[in-house]
Chain A
Amino acid sequence: MPRLADPRFAPDCTIEVDGRPLAARAGETIAVALLAAGRRVIARSAKYHRPRGAFCLAGSCHACLARVDGVPNQRTCLIACRPGLRVQSQNAFPTARNDLLGAIDAIYAHGLDHHHLAIWNRYANRAAVALARRLSGLGELADQPPPPSPTATEEYFDALVIGAGPAGLGAAEALARRGRRVLLAEADGKLGGSLRCALSQKGDPPLTLAGEVADGVAAAGGEAAPALTAVGLWMEQDRPLVAFRVETGVPRLRIVRAEHCVLATGTVALPPLFPRNDLPGIFASRGLARTLAEDGVVPGESALVLGQGLEARALTDRLSQAGMRARLEPCAAGALGKARLKAVVLAGGERVACDTLACAGPRAPASSLARLSGAAVQLDPASGGFRACVEKGGETGVPGVLAAGEVTGPMSAGEALERGRRAGETAARG
C-alpha cells in the first residue's frame, strides 16, 4: 500500500527510470515517485559505492542524486515529475541495486586511506592515480550545453525574507503590515516550511497562515515567491545582496538588493550517527511527514521513529494511521541491511525489523547564509550545529541582516512565528 487510497494521490503520468517506465503523479518529486514505487536505492556513493537513496526529502543532503534528462547530479527530491522525464542512476555498474564496484566497500571495510594508497613505489603510485581518476567523479558531464539563460534581473525590495516557515511568515507579515515592499522567498514549491509536515502541536499556527501572509505581502506591493532559492548572500558595503534562482519555468537568476534581510532558513535534518547510518530507507522525519501529508505516499510497511518529544510522537501516530506498523524509540545503535534498511538495532541490542527509519532527533540550524553574511554563530551542543546568534529583535550584529526562528535555536512553530514578527518589526523600523 504505497499510496493512500485517495484519488488526489493517484499516479497520472509515466516517467522513465533506468530505461523502465515508472508510474508517477505529475508535480510530485522524483524521489517521492521512487518511494511510492518501493524503489529505495537511487545511486551509489562517490568513494565506496555504498547504496544511496533519499534521506532529507528537502534538498539539503544531496544523497538522492541522479542523472535527469541528461544532466548529472540532480537532486531527485527537488525535481517534479512530468510525463517522459528520464531518470538514470549514477556511479553504478551495472545497476544501483547491484553495483559490482560495491566490492570496494567490502574490501576496504575499515576505510580506504587515499592519502597513503599505493605510495610504496612510483609505478604502483602512478597506476593508482590513473585508476582512481577513472573511478572518481559522480555523473558524466551533460551531453549538451544548456540553452542560454535570460539575463539575470537586478531588483530592489525594502526587505527580503528568506524562508517561508513560521518565522519567515511572521517576519513578512510584520513588514507588509507596516507597508514595506517585501520579497518572501521560499526554496520549496509551497510556502509553509515545517507547518506543511502536519505534525502541528497545540499553539502552532495553522498552515492557512501561509496564504494569508502571501496576500498581505502582495497587498503591500511585495511578492511571496515559492520555488525561489537563495543561492548566495554577499555584503555590498553595509547592505546584503542575495542571488536567487527561479525554480519554475525557464531557469533564471534574480539579483536582489534590500535594506534588510531576515534569515528564516530553519533547520536541516541530520542523519543518525551509527553503523550503516546511510542505508536507503533511513529518512528525516519532517521530509517523510510532509511526503505523507502532501503526496499521500506511505514509505513502507513497518517504521521505527527515532527520537523524543512531540514531533516524534505525532509522526508515529501519523504513520500508524496510514497503515504502517510504527514504533517510537528514543535512540538506536545501528542499522542492518544490504542495499536497503532491513532492521534497526536498539541501544540494548534488540533488533527491530523495519523497512523505514524516521529520524526525529535534533536538527541543525540552517545557518550557512548567516555565516556567509559574517554573522556570529554558536555551537548548539545537542545537534552539533551552529545557530545564528541574535539580539531580542532578531539583530545579528551585521548591518541589515536579521535572523529568526529555528536557525537561531530549537523552538516551537508558535515561538518561531513570534520571533519572526519581532524581527520583521525591527527591520520595518530600521
Chain B
Amino acid sequence: MGSAKTIVCACEDVTLEELRKAFARGHRDLESLKRYTGLGTGPCQGNSCLAPAARELLRLGATPAEARPFTARPPADPVTLSLLASIEPASLPIQMTATVEPPAAPGSTPRPGGSPPPRANVVIVGGGIMGLALAYNLARLGVNGVVVIERGYLNAGASGRNGGGVRTQWSTPTMIRLAKRSIELCRSFAVEMGVNVWMRQGGYLFLAATPAQVARLEKNLRVHEANGLRTRLLAPEEVLEIAPDLDRTRFLAAAFNPDDGVVFPWPFLWGYAAQAQARGATVLTFTRVTGFEKTGRRIAAVLTDQGRIACEVVVNAAGAWSKEVANLAGVPLPNRPLRHEILATEPTRAWLDPLVSVLEDGLYFSQTQRGEIVGGLADPAEPEGIAMGSSLRFLARFARAITACAPRTGSLRVVRQWAGCYDVTPDNNPILGPAGFENFLQLSGFVGHGFMMAPAVTELMAAWMAGGPKDPILERFTADRFPRGEVAHEDFIIG
C-alpha cells in the first residue's frame, strides 16, 4: 500500500505534513509557503491547493493577512508557446498588465518577522540576496548587532524573480574574478549553508547571428583566456552536440563555457538568512523603512514602520528600490529601476543542459532542475520605473523568439509569467561604498546580475566593513565615479 500521505498540492506532491513543518519554520504567509513547499507552482496554478492551504493556515493560527492568496499569475490556463507565437505583439501596449500585487490595506500586512531592536551596529535595508549575504558574511566575521530589514517576504524582490543563471563569461577581468568566486561559493552552498540550491553546471551558450556578434565573442574569448576561463568558440555543429534542439540556421557561432550554470534562487535567501540568524544577526520581514535620522555627516538611526533603530552603519541593499531608499536620506543615486519579464513552462524530462542566450534579440532560457523552461527577453520599449505586472505582449514576443530558436519548444505550455526589476546604473556596474553620508554604504546597481555576484561581492564588502583589506572593486565602483567620469562600461548584459 502507498504511504498514508495527505496531499495538499497534487501537481507538486506537497503533503499536509510538509505544509505544517514549513509553517513552523516561519513560512507563515501564503507567498512564502508557496515558495518553500512548491504548492501552487504546478500546471494547475493552485486551483486545487490554494483553498486547502489557506484553510489549514487559519487552523494553525495564521492571521487573515497571512492567509491572503498568493499573487495570481497569467496565464489562467496553460497555453502553448506555439499559440502565443501567433499573437502579433506590436499591437499590444507594454502597459497592459495583470497581477500587480494589490495594495495592502493598513494593518493588513502579515506579521513582521520580529520587533526591531532599539540599537544596532549595522542596519541593512533590503532582505534580498545582497542584504542577506552581507549579513551572513558580517556575522561570520564576528560583527555583532547586524539587522536586515525587508519590506515583504523573503524572495519578494528581484532575488526571488530571476532566472537563476550564474556565469563566468563577462567582458572585464574584474567581473570575471567576482563571477569565478561566486560560482565556487554556489558549488559549495548546499553543504556549507545547509540547504539545496540545485546548482547544475550545464554551461552557457551565447549564440551569435552576425559577423559583428562573432567578433564580440572573439574579443571576449581573449579576455577569458587571459583570465583562465575554459570558454570556447564553437561552430554550429559543435553547438548542436550540446543543444541538439536549436535551429542551426539561426546562428553562425557560439561561445560556450562549461563552468557556467543555473541554480534555484529561492534557497539562497533562506540559507543566508538562516545562517546569519544562527550567528546572531536579525532578519525583520514585513518591515518598511520610512526615513533616516541624520546628525551632521552621519546617519544616526533608521526609522521603520515598526520602530526606530539607532545604528552605526546603514547599508542600502534595496535593489530596484535603492534610489527610493537613498532619496529618504536625501542622497541622489543615478540608479534606474527597469522591469524585466520572465516566464516558466510546464515541466518535462531533462532535454536542455546549457542556458541559451541569443545576442541578436536578448532572449535567454534554460531548463530548471524540476524540468520547466524558464526564460526572458528584454523589451527595448520598456519605460523606467518600478513595475511588477505581466504583459501579454511579453508572452507573444518571448514565444516568437524561443520557438524560432528552438522549434520543439512550441508544444510546451506556459504555466506562469511574472516580472522583476533590474537596478540599472549608467555604466552597468554596481555602486559600492559610502554615498552622501560617511556611514551610508551602497550595495546596489547590479543590473540584473546581482544574484550571481552577491556571494562574492558581499564577502569582499563584509571583510572591509569588519576592518579587513579594501578590495580594489570598493575603490573603483564608488558613487562618485559618475561625476568624475571614471566609468568603464560593462557591455555583456543579458535580458
Report A's interface with B, CB cutoff 8 A.
45-48, 50-52, 55-56, 59-63, 65, 71-73, 102, 105-106, 108-111, 113-122, 125, 128-129, 132-134, 136-142, 144-146, 148-152, 154, 187, 229-237, 241, 243, 245, 251-253, 255, 268-271, 273-279, 334, 336-339, 364, 366, 368-369, 371-374, 376-377, 379, 381, 383-386
Q: In the bound complex, how far is the Cα of B413 from the Cα of A251, in angstroms?
A: 13
* A374 partner, pick from B50, B100, B413, beta carbons under 8 A: B100
Instruction: Judge whether B86 and A235 touch: CB under 8 Å.
Output: no
**When the two chains form their complex, are residues B13 and A45 in contact, meaning their CB atoms are under 8 A apart?**
yes
Picked from B50, B195, B196, the residue with its CB within 8 Å of the CB of A129 is B196
Using A46-B12, A231-B77, A241-B392 as known contacts, say yes or no to A236 and B369 having CB atoms under 8 A apart: no
The reply on B85 being an interface residue by CB < 8 A is yes
Contacts of A63 in B (CB 8 A): 10, 48
> B75 within 8 Å of A by Cβ?
yes
B249 at the A/B interface (Cβ < 8 Å)? no
Alpha-carbon distance A60/B403, docked complex (angstroms): 27
Alpha-carbon gap, A231 to B86, bound state (A): 14
CA distance A52 to B46 in the complex (A): 17
CB <8 Å contact, A271 and B86: no
* Option from A45, A128, A233 in Cβ contact (under 8 Å) with B76: A233
A377 to chain B, nearest CB (A): 6
**A232 near B194 (CB under 8 angstroms)?**
no
B210 at the interface (CB under 8 A from A): no
**Nearest A residue (CB) for B80:** A146
Report whether B98 and A235 are in contact in the complex, using a CB–CB cutoff of 8 Å: yes
Residues of B within 8 A of A105 (CB): 2-3, 5
How many chain B residues touch A (Cβ–Cβ < 8 Å)? 95
Q: Min CB distance, B26 to chain A, in Å?
A: 14
> In the complex, are the beta carbons of A338 and B1 less than 8 A apart?
yes
B13: chain A residues within 8 A (beta carbon): 45-48, 50
Interface, chain B (partner A; CB < 8 A): 1-8, 10-13, 15-18, 36, 42-48, 50-56, 58, 64, 67-69, 71-72, 74-80, 82-88, 91-93, 95-100, 102, 187-188, 190-191, 194-196, 198-200, 267, 270, 346-351, 369-371, 390-392, 395, 403, 407-413
Given contacts A129-B199, A150-B86, contact A50 B5 (CB under 8 A): yes
Known: A232-B79, A253-B84. 8 other contacts (CB 8 A): A63-B48, A106-B3, A118-B196, A133-B369, A151-B86, A230-B77, A251-B82, A271-B7
Shortest distance between the CB of B211 and any CB in chain A (Å): 29
Chain B residues with Cβ below 8 Å from A140 are 348-349, 351
Question: Does A274 contact B77, Cβ atoms closer than 8 Å?
Answer: no
The residues of A that contact B98 with a CB separation of less than 8 Å are 232-235, 372-374
Is there contact, CB below 8 Å, between B412 and A386? no
Q: Would A102 and B349 count as touching, CB distance under 8 A?
A: no
The 9 closest A-B pairs by CB, nearest first: A137-B371, A384-B55, A142-B411, A371-B72, A384-B51, A47-B13, A232-B74, A364-B51, A275-B4
Closest B residue to A125 using CB positions: B190
Contact B370 A145 (CB under 8 A): no
A243 contact from B56, B75, B97, Cβ within 8 A: B75
How far, in angstroms, from A62 to B9 measured CA to CA in the complex?
Answer: 11
| A109-B371 in contact (CB<8A) | no
Q: Which residues of B contact A368 (CB under 8 A)?
A: 45-47, 72, 76
Q: How far is the CA of A71 from the CA of B407 in the complex (A)?
A: 14
> Which residues in A have their C-beta under 8 angstroms from that of B72?
368, 371-372
Q: Is chain B's binding surface mostly helix, strand, loop or mixed?
A: loop
Query: Contact at A274–B349, with CB atoms within 8 Å?
Result: no
* Set A46, A234, A271: member contacting B392, Cβ < 8 A: A234
The verdict on A129 contacting B371 (CB below 8 Å), with A136-B350, A146-B411, A275-B6 known, is no
Task: Say yes or no: A106 contacts B102, CB within 8 Å.
Answer: no
A152 to B92 Cα, complex, angstroms:
12
Nearest A residue to B81 by beta-carbon distance?
A146
Q: How far is the CA of A230 from the CA of B16 in the complex (A)?
A: 31
| A149 and B55 contact, CB distance less than 8 A | no
Whether B200 pairs with A148 at a CB distance below 8 angstroms is no
**Residues of B contacting A72 in the complex (Cβ-Cβ under 8 angstroms):** 346, 348, 411
Residue of B nearest to A110 (CB): B17
B79 neighbours in A (Cβ, 8 Å): 231-232, 243, 245, 253
CA distance A118 to B58 in the complex (A): 33
CA distance A154 to B88 in the complex (A): 9
How far does the alpha carbon of A366 sit from the alpha carbon of B46 in the complex, in Å? 10
> How far does the alpha carbon of A337 sit from the alpha carbon of B1 in the complex, in Å?
7
Select A385's contact among B54, B80, B347, beta carbons within 8 Å.
B54
Tell me which residues across on chain B come within 8 A of A377, comparing CB atoms. 69
> Chain B's nearest CB lies how many Å from the CB of A301?
21
- With A and B bound together, what is the CA distance between A285 and B403 in angstroms? 40
- For the complex, what is the distance from the CA of A71 to the CA of B45, rounded to whole Å? 20
CB distance B76 to A230 under 8 Å? yes
Q: Which residues of B contact A110 (CB under 8 A)?
A: 3, 17
Give, as a whole number of angstroms, the nearest-CB distance from B258 to chain A. 15
Cα–Cα, bound, A229→B413 (Å): 14
Measured between beta carbons, the chain A residues less than 8 angstroms from B74 are: 231-234, 372
A237 to B97, CA, bound (A): 9
In the complex, 17 of the A-B residue pairs with CB atoms within 8 angstroms, ordered by the A residue number, are A61-B10, A111-B5, A138-B347, A138-B348, A141-B351, A146-B410, A146-B411, A152-B83, A187-B77, A229-B77, A230-B77, A231-B74, A231-B77, A278-B5, A364-B50, A372-B98, A373-B98
Q: A109-B3, A139-B348, A274-B6 are in contact. Are A231 and B76 (CB under 8 A)?
A: yes
If the complex has contacts A62-B42, A374-B100, A381-B58, are A134 and B350 also in contact, measured as CB distance less than 8 A?
A: yes
Q: Is the CB of B351 within 8 A of A251?
A: no
Q: Which residue of chain A has its CB nearest to the CB of B8?
A: A273
Contacting residue for A119 out of B11, B48, B67, B195, CB 8 A = B195
A47 adjacent to B12 (CB under 8 Å): yes
Determine the chain B residues whose CB is within 8 A of the CB of A125 once the complex forms.
Answer: 190-191, 196
Give the nearest-CB partner of A236 in chain B. Answer: B96
- B76, A271: Cβ atoms under 8 Å? no
Tell me whether A139 and B5 are in contact (CB under 8 A). no
Pair A73/B47 contact, Cβ less than 8 Å: no
Q: Which residues of B contact A154 (CB under 8 A)?
A: 88, 91
A275 to chain B, nearest CB (A): 4
Instruction: Assess A386 versus B54: contact at CB under 8 Å? Given A138-B346, A241-B392.
Output: yes
Name the one of A141, A270, A379 contacting B411, with C-beta atoms under 8 angstroms. A141
Q: Are B87 and A152 in contact (CB under 8 A)?
A: yes
Contacts A129-B198, A268-B47, A275-B6 given; does A136 touch B370 at CB 8 Å: yes
| Distance to closest chain A CB from B14 (angstroms) | 9
Complexed CA–CA distance, A277 and B3 (Å): 11
Once bound together, how far apart are the Cα atoms of A73 and B75, in whole Å?
A: 16
Which residues does chain A contribute within 8 Å of B2, judged by CB atoms?
Answer: 50-51, 102, 105-106, 276, 279, 338-339
A245 and B83 in contact, given A63-B10, A137-B349, A234-B74 (Cβ under 8 angstroms): yes
User: Contact at A384–B10, with CB atoms within 8 Å?
Assistant: no
